[in-house]
Amino acid sequence: MNGVDAFPPLPASIAIREVGPRDGLQPEAAVPVATRVEMITALIAAGASIIEVAAFVSPKAVPAMAGAAEVVAALRRSAAVRRVALVPNVKGAELAAEAGIDALTLTVSASEAYSQRNVHMSVDESLAQAGAIRAAIGDGLPIDTVVSCAFGSPYEGDIAPAAVASLGRQALEGGSTSVTYADTTGMATPRRVRDLLGETGTDVGLHLHDTRGTALVNAYAALQAGVTRFDTAVGGLGGSPFAEGAGGNLATEDLVHLCDDLGVTTGFDLEALLAVSSQVAGVVGHPVPSRIAAAGPRWNP
Amino acid sequence: MNGVDAFPPLPASIAIREVGPRDGLQPEAAVPVATRVEMITALIAAGASIIEVAAFVSPKAVPAMAGAAEVVAALRRSAAVRRVALVPNVKGAELAAEAGIDALTLTVSASEAYSQRNVHMSVDESLAQAGAIRAAIGDGLPIDTVVSCAFGSPYEGDIAPAAVASLGRQALEGGSTSVTYADTTGMATPRRVRDLLGETGTDVGLHLHDTRGTALVNAYAALQAGVTRFDTAVGGLGGSPFAEGAGGNLATEDLVHLCDDLGVTTGFDLEALLAVSSQVAGVVGHPVPSRIAAAGPRWNP
């Protein structure tokens, strides 16, 4: 039984950044601020301790994210919860800081074509944002840079892991606190996860999408490698308005269900989370992609 | 990078038993014999070398499987392809043998309640079938016993891996050639796969269902443990008429896509397989569950 015993040990716990209220809702019809605040509050009650609550972007470009400052204002600051906002540039960061946010996420794309379509900036221009934000708002807020298309681009195809890892290093040198690698269009595979981690080390976040039904197996491969930071969205909501067929995020309940069974602590209560997921399906007006949400946990005695 | 380097090596190749024409079509509206023969022929052309082509069951109980003997008769015997039929009992085995089948599958359930509902026999009565078939038709045909509900039962919940493995051993002692463990209602997890393999050894087949979106991660865990025999269904078709919400099989294209990327040989040509999957969606009249079928492979240059 050599193979069975040879499984690498798993981390004792992981940190999940719940991105449903931002990445998850972004491609949906606009949801009122009060409803988004209710959703965020319910997710925190279910165990979310890091939660992307808003994007400080143009409401004209992304109507679903209108009212970001109001969302942040409605959420009590708490040492137990990190409220995160996506910002595309210095102006967004200034607005987020004024609103009282706890942390920022910035995106940089490993794909030049995706970068132009998503943020109308070159990769180098994107990379310069962290430094510009530091210059404008100081060092008070952690900045996580999310490297999109880190496992391939729908435009250019494969992108060398060494080149992706180099972008991450440049982000850290340029003022970012941490780096997350995103599988924006579901092109990751367990081998490619391992290949990238071989270049970046495992002190990274992973942001996985389920376009090809591989988000969970990729997360498992990353857990085995020792990664302890994951982005997920309740229900598996999400997708990119700038990459057709991007598919939803790894569902929070799918990762929690897996981790619960593996003995990896997530901080979430699965039953409470599934109740939120069910409410969120009502909010967006369609079933959520998560199979665990549809089928229920493996067995309830 | 200890974690990244510590991944267990994978098998060089696996044997896939394509069960789409039987397990996949069973819950669908009846498909004419000629169409099923076309589907089987196309799957063989795409690389299937072991294929469950029919079930010799009562057409009243399972209308979709009517015409089993005609299906087998229409398929040329070939040393390169093993044509397999599911049989519930001695009568089915006799009919399959007369039709010229190459191998049989029998089911035994790890769940007493599921056994009663599925085959109207106790687990012990089911276990006796292999011996009775041997007595009736001799030793000419391999018999694979599929142990259903091997990772839990929707009726009784968890079933101890040692008890499941004991059933498998009894099947081998009772006249079966090999054993496959089936996750009939999608209750397996990577930990439970590993736990069962710890009791059975890795010289087993696995038959995974995707009810909870875990079929691929379970297959990956089994590959890492050294399992080399998998059941899959083109498109991820399937489900059990006797277990509500059972969900489809692991999709052949999903496993082939994973294995291609991992360098594990399957014998299938993914592009040809995806073409068959697309045709099969037309045959059953609805989109197939496979996400690879919907999104396409990770990138086509």
**Domains in chain B, number:** 1
* Whether the complex's predicted ipTM surpasses the cut of 0.90: yes
Residue from B2, B4, B218 to probe the interface with A (highest A Cβ count within 10 Å): B4
Q: From B217, which residue of chain A is nearest by alpha-carbon distance?
A: A217
Residue A43 lies in a domain: yes
pLDDT at site B240? 56
How far B277 CA lies from chain A's nearest CA (Å)?
15
- Cβ distance of B190 and A2 shorter than 8 Å: no
The tokens for A147 are: 């490297």
- Cβ distance of B213 and A217 shorter than 8 Å: no
Paired with A105 in beta bridges are A86, A144
- Cβ distance of A258 and B217 shorter than 8 Å: yes
Residue A2 lies in a domain: no
- Kindly tell me the sign of the dihedral angle through the C-alpha atoms of A204, A205, A211, A212: positive
Point out the residues of chain B with pLDDT beneath 50: 1-3, 301
Residue A266 lies in a domain: yes
pLDDT at site A120? 87
Residues of B in contact with A262 (CB under 8 A): 189-191
Helix axes A215-225, A252-262, angle to 10 degrees: 40
How far A299 CA lies from chain B's nearest CA (Å)?
6
A8, A245, A301 ranked by CB distance to B295: nearest: A245
Give me the CATH number covering residue A254. 3.20.20.70
A1, A212, A299 ranked by CB distance to B291: nearest: A212
Residues of A in contact with B152 (CB under 8 A): 298-299
pLDDT at site B1? 41
Residue A174 lies in a domain: yes
Residues of A in contact with B202 (CB under 8 A): 1, 3-4
- Cβ distance of A298 and B198 shorter than 8 Å: no
pLDDT at site A298? 83
Q: From B263, which residue of chain A is nearest by alpha-carbon distance?
A: A191
Taking only the tens place, the pLDDT of each residue in A169-222 is 999 999 999 999 999 989 999 999 999 999 999 999 999 999 999 999 999 999
pLDDT at site B182? 97
How far B95 CA lies from chain A's nearest CA (Å)?
37
Residue A57 lies in a domain: yes
- Cβ distance of B211 and A186 shorter than 8 Å: no
Residue A3 lies in a domain: no
Residue A293 lies in a domain: no
pLDDT at site A205? 98
The structure's pTM equals 0.95
How far A191 CA lies from chain B's nearest CA (Å)?
6
- Separation of first and last alpha carbons in chain A: 32
Q: Which of B238, B179, B171, B178 is nearest to B208 (CA)?
A: B238
DSSP string, chain A: -HHHHTPPPPPSB-EEEE-IIIIITTTSSP--HHHHHHHHHHHHHTT-SEEEEEE-S-TTT-GGGTTHHHHHHHS--BTTBEEEEE-SSHHHHHHHHHHT-SEEEEEEES-HHHHHHHHSS-HHHHHHHHHHHHHHHTTSS-EEEEEETBTBBTTTB---HHHHHHHHHHHHHTT-SEEEEEETTS---HHHHHHHHHHH-S-SEEEEB-TTS-HHHHHHHHHHHT--EEEEBGGG---BTTBTT--PBPBHHHHHHHHHHHT-B-S--HHHHHHHHHHHHHHHTS--S-HHHHH-SS---
A2, A198, A212 ranked by CB distance to B292: nearest: A212
How far B111 CA lies from chain A's nearest CA (Å)?
14
Residue range(s) defining the domain that contains residue A54: 8-287
Question: What is the phi/psi pair of residue A13, to 5°?
Answer: -150, 160
How far B90 CA lies from chain A's nearest CA (Å)?
34
Point out the residues of chain A with pLDDT beneath 50: 1-3, 241, 301
